[in-house]
Amino acid sequence: MSDSLWLTIVGLGEDGPDGLSPASLKALSEAEVIMGAPRHLSLLPPLSCDTVEWPVPYADGIALLLEKRGKKTVVLASGDPFWHGAGGTLAKHLERGEWRSIPSPSTLSLAAAALGWSLESTVTLGLHAAPFARLRPHLAKGTRAIVTLRDGNAVTEFAGWLSKIGFGDSTLHVMEALGGPNERIRATTAQDMAFDDINHPVSVAISAKGGPALSQSSGQPDAFFDNDGQITKRPVRALTLSALAPQPGEHLWDIGGGSGSIAIEWLLAHGQNAATSVEINPDRANRIRENATALGADRLKVVTGAAPQALEDLAPPDAVFIGGGISEDMLQTVWRQLPAQSRLVANAVTLEAETLLASWHAKFGGDLLRIELAHATPLGRKRGWKSSYPIVQWSVSK
């Protein structure tokens, strides 16, 4: 064991020290300081060492912990500290050789064991400090998911949210204090949720039923995006996202966000993707945030301002989409800031913007695509084709 090791992160179950590994028990017995939430500290027997209640909000406790550097310190966490727990947060502030983690079974492991669900085919999310809509991209008929929630009231709110978005027939397994003497598991449907005595800590397992589900391909229905008419419509959006070609972990600039549909679908493509939407209209910027939150893409960063000025302090992109306000100045600024091998896609509707894209295509290459769509609409007692404005799309890798 390293001489610099001073911190041990111990994962507790609801039965306290019972069932802990010898290594965990040894760390607790040798500790000079034990830090943890009041609920965790209450699970331990009387202690002779110093104890510190971790403050709320959680981030306020980091400085208190770092002041203990050099003393044998134990931080208490729930179950596996590195599954939606304290471990990932603490590790960012520590050197690798000065800490270790000793996990107990996580909530998801205990829940899966209680229900007989295979974890590899079950969605697992920590929603105790995150919007319920983080689950939205995963919801479809037959989906199984296990989520942690803040408290009993949050379970009722969660059931109401599921019902509101069309999944009220889903079966919910409400699981309290898993692994401890007060463990309790009850089942109901989201729309029939009536439990009023749910105790913390609580998790919920969902067998999803209902809809509509989000598609796994590009081009979600337009109805998913609240808008004032400024939206890249579904067929064009599908072609645009195909040209942008999102890859895991990449960052998109969406310039002229409108409803946010391009940036949101970029984020839905992979959970590690990032996106920044730039929108000059404050009302539309707020609508983008609301759309992103509703569809489980609340990590979308929205900048209210005019491009290209609003682009100055943004993290470098891997891809850029220009959906409005195309100008020579805009293209010059974006091209200058675009890292090598990054991708640029721009859509033009006006003749002036089309001419500009044709000029840049002549200089820098890439693909120039003209998109012409027509929809069947009533024409007297029959039907005819109604054409939309043609769109010229330029896509290029720098």
Written as one letter, the residue type at 238 is: A
Which residues 6+ apart lie within 8 Å of 267 measured at CB? 273, 274, 275, 292, 297, 299, 300
Q: Is the peptide bond before 201 cis (omega within 30 degrees of 0)?
A: yes
Determine contact, residues 357/326, Cβ cutoff 8 Å.
Answer: yes
Relative to beta strand 7-12, strand 73-78 is: parallel
CA-angle at 249, arms to 248 and 255, nearest 5°: 105
Query: Which neighbouring-strand residues pair with 189?
Result: 171
pTM (2 d.p.): 0.89
Task: Give the model confidence (pLDDT) of 16-55 as tens digits.
Answer: 888 788 999 999 999 999 999 998 999 898 888 999 999 9
Task: Give the model confidence (pLDDT) of 375-395 as tens digits.
Answer: 999 999 999 999 999 999 999
Q: Provide the token pair at 8.
A: 């041990």
CA distance 265 to 174: 32
CA distance 305 to 295: 24
Which residues 6+ apart lie within 8 Å of 145 measured at CB? 122, 123, 124, 125, 135, 138, 139, 205, 206, 208
CA distance 62 to 235: 48
pLDDT, averaged per 10 consecutive residues of the chain (398 residues), comes to 83 84 92 94 90 93 94 94 90 94 93 96 94 97 96 97 98 95 96 95 97 94 94 95 97 96 97 96 97 97 94 94 91 94 96 96 97 95 94 97
Domains and CATH numbers, the chain: 7-104 (3.40.1010.10), 108-207 (3.30.950.10), 222-397 (3.40.50.150)
Neighbouring CB atoms inside 10 A of 143's CB total 18
CA distance 94 to 20: 24
The number of residues in the chain equals 398
